A and B are shown apart, each in its own frame.
Chain A
Amino acid sequence: MAPLLSIENLKVVLKDFGKNQTGIILRGINLVLNEGERLALVGESGCGKSMTALSVLNLLPQPPMEILSGEIRFKDKDLTRLRGEGWREIRGKEIGIVFQEPLTSLNPVIRVGEQIAEMIRNHSNISESTAQEKVLSLLNEVGLPDPERIARQYPHQLSGGMCQRVMIAMAISCGPSLLIADEPTTALDVTVQTQILDLLFQMTEQHRLAVLFITHDLRIVRNHADRVAILYAGQVVEEGRPDEIFSHPQHPYTEGLLEALPEFSHKGRPLFNIKGLVPSPFEKITGCCFASRCPRAKENCLLEEPELFEKSRGQWVRCFYPSGR
């Protein structure tokens, strides 16, 4: 069976017209997402995780950014070739979106019920009253008490968690087959975070949605994803099942990230420090992107670029010297 979404060798560049420079944001991303699968993209700021998602939705800030090459196949369409009206069938309808800041992604001057209804009516031919009914059932489904009252509220009258529930209701309202969630819980409190995650994954299970889940937080991925892809400097450096990645990280960057997590159980021991900084998009890199910060780097790492290869069943790594445990 063909995958639902496949991203092949996606390259995105950033053009700085003032300095007449071109920076590389994504250096060839390859990802595959099957129907109903939950894939998490994990990485630090600037690694390209949000840009990957925005490319899928054609929401890249163009200019200064631009897709240089690559293919994004969703069902039978190549999204990089889609223009204008074609996007109305995809964005919001086939692919639902939940962004990081619920308060800035909702329109502050329109009641939340109307915002959801607008979305439904834009994508299907139903009457206003049927749309209203659907709004109420959606609000109920995402666990908001008293949907009739909530539907009449403005976003500022709701808490962050409630707004995010509204966003989820909106994202699933048109029956998409893929949901993109870009740091959906980062702006929320810890206890609310877990509730929203649970809701998100419960919804996607019920509606058989595939999820592309973007986060910087390794901990929340552990229990919620089928597969994890670790991104660094615009490349996938490791990909595999979360339990495998957590117990046997292969790439030195993944290892470093895991050991850098402060945990109570590490008390008294210094945390692992990945030396150096993430390279800027304008830096010229030959060889492996991580080589300059890598504790295991050898001479050839600085010269040749490693390929992503299958280290063990289902676990892929982009490194000449994977840990091999």
Chain B
Amino acid sequence: MGPMLLSVRKVTKNFPVARGVLGRPTAFVKAVDNVSLDIEPGQIVGVVGESGCGKSTLGRCVVGLHTPTQGAVLWDGHDLSQMNVQERREVQRRFQMVFQNPFASLNPRQKVKEVLFEPLDVHGLIEPKERLGYVTELLRKVGLFADDLNKYPHEFSGGQRQRIGLARALAGQPGLIVLDEPVSSLDVSVQASILNLLAQLNREQRISYLFISHDLQVVGYLSEKVLVMYLGRMVEEGNTDQVLRTPRHPYTQILLSSSRGNKVTVKGEPPSPVQTPSGCAFHPRCPYAEKRCQEEKQELAQGGQDWKVACWKWDRL
């Protein structure tokens, strides 16, 4: 088997939150703590968690917008941190991102045409005289029209802007797109059409996604594998069918039942990531917590084939 399209190896990302007299950081928040994942060509992997769990930071590390503090991100088997600017630019077009807020991620002063020409300029793709035809085709692919090329972002609705963002990501014929909450600001009916489009692009062009969302149902609908994060750590990872049918980690169970609108028994709110609780980060809120949970940090352990969980009690819950 060849190298993975994307490998994330034990990535940790710290951000300084306080600085001393000399400007040296004195306190850190561990936004992402020792996360690993692999994505094969054509695969959709979902990342789920609440705000502050590090899912967006992970996504940004994957496309190179953040440099991991520890660990490595590998594109086609090559370490991102070992590449020089030239090499990096060549592969960057294949690793793209679509952001959550379609109102903030498009330059309000750029026409759609300019938005879509930019990646072609940067990567030197497509002969100038063929560009217009190329971007028109891109727009058609995402469900917009040739007339839209000369419009400005404010002339579009939220869903249409998200399509433009997607067209921009598709311009360099990517292998992987990181989708950071691409549908969470959209209405249900618009959300459905974007999800259908994403599924279709994945099917027809074998584009992989790292699909980041707080909604377990959306992730479950689209992805083949899911990764559940809590306070920067992975708490459960595996095949979507398995994780959503028989979630083992108490946190996944709670996420799942609240995503169905059921009553849940969970205490409190996610604590600040600056002061993560001792032992298992979830123990103060966990309905099954025992003394051992406070003391021992839970590592991700094999629970079954293609499926890992970070809870020592998983088989007794």
| A interface residues (Cβ-Cβ under 8 A, vs B) | 44-45, 159-162, 189-195, 198, 216-224, 256-257, 260-264, 266-267, 270-274, 277
Known contacts: A190-B215, A191-B254, A223-B263. The answer to whether A256 contacts B189 by CB under 8 A is yes
Known contacts: A257-B188, A260-B192. The answer to whether A190 contacts B255 by CB under 8 A is yes
Verify if B264 is at the interface (C-beta below 8 Å from A): yes
Question: How far does the alpha carbon of A45 sit from the alpha carbon of B254 in the complex, in Å?
Answer: 28
Q: Which residues of B contact A194 (CB under 8 A)?
A: 258, 261-264, 266
A-B contact pairs, 24 of them (CB 8 A): A45-B187, A190-B50, A190-B214, A191-B254, A191-B264, A192-B269, A194-B264, A216-B188, A218-B188, A219-B259, A219-B260, A219-B261, A221-B261, A223-B263, A256-B189, A257-B189, A260-B189, A262-B195, A264-B221, A267-B240, A270-B199, A271-B221, A274-B189, A274-B192
Question: How far does the alpha carbon of A219 sit from the alpha carbon of B259 in the complex, in Å?
Answer: 8
A158 CB to nearest B CB, Å? 10
Q: Across the interface, do A262 and B217 meet the contact criterion of CB distance under 8 Å?
A: yes
Closest B residue to A258 by beta carbon equals: B188
How many B residues face the partner with a CB closer than 8 A?
35
Q: Which residues of A contact B269 (CB under 8 A)?
A: 159-162, 189, 191-192
Closest B residue to A263 by beta carbon equals: B217
Verify if B232 is at the interface (C-beta below 8 Å from A): no
Question: How far does the alpha carbon of A204 sit from the alpha carbon of B27 in the complex, in Å?
Answer: 43
Q: Which residues of A contact B262 (CB under 8 A)?
A: 194, 223
Closest B residue to A192 by beta carbon equals: B269
- Say which residue of B188, B240, B259, B285 sits within 8 Å of A190 (CB atoms): B259
Q: Which residues of A contact B216 (CB under 8 A)?
A: 190, 264
Q: Which residues of A contact B188 (CB under 8 A)?
A: 44, 216, 218, 257, 260-261
A279 CB to nearest B CB, Å? 13
Q: Which residues of A contact B260 (CB under 8 A)?
A: 219
- Say which residue of B50, B199, B261 sits within 8 Å of A220 (CB atoms): B261
Known contacts: A44-B187, A159-B269, A161-B269. The answer to whether A272 contacts B192 by CB under 8 A is yes
Max count, chain B CB within 10 A of own CB: residue among A195, A217, A222: A195
Q: Which residues of A contact B187 (CB under 8 A)?
A: 44-45, 216
Verify if B35 is at the interface (C-beta below 8 Å from A): no
Q: Across the interface, do A191 and B240 meet the contact criterion of CB distance under 8 Å?
A: no
Q: Which residues of A contact B280 (CB under 8 A)?
A: none
- Say which residue of A190, A218, A264, A273 sits within 8 Å of B258 (CB atoms): A190
Contacting A at CB under 8 A, from B262-281, are: 262-264, 266, 269-270
Q: Across the interface, do A270 and B258 meet the contact criterion of CB distance under 8 Å?
A: no
A194 CB to nearest B CB, Å? 4
Q: Across the interface, do B255 and A191 meet the contact criterion of CB distance under 8 Å?
A: yes
Question: How far does the alpha carbon of A162 sit from the alpha carbon of B270 in the complex, in Å?
Answer: 12
Q: Across the interface, do A262 and B218 meet the contact criterion of CB distance under 8 Å?
A: yes
B180 CB to nearest A CB, Å? 16
Contacting A at CB under 8 A, from B202-235, are: 214-218, 220-222
Q: Across the interface, do A262 and B222 meet the contact criterion of CB distance under 8 Å?
A: yes
Q: Which residues of B contact A160 (CB under 8 A)?
A: 269
Question: How far does the alpha carbon of A158 sit from the alpha carbon of B143 in the complex, in Å?
Answer: 43
Verify if B105 is at the interface (C-beta below 8 Å from A): no
Verify if B34 is at the interface (C-beta below 8 Å from A): no
Q: Which residues of A contact B218 (CB under 8 A)?
A: 262
Known contacts: A45-B187, A261-B188, A266-B221. The answer to whether A193 contacts B258 by CB under 8 A is yes
Question: How far does the alpha carbon of A217 sit from the alpha carbon of B217 in the complex, in Å?
Answer: 13
Known contacts: A216-B187, A262-B191. The answer to whether A191 contacts B266 by CB under 8 A is yes
Contact with A along B49-74 (1 / 0, CB 8 A): 01100000000000000000000000
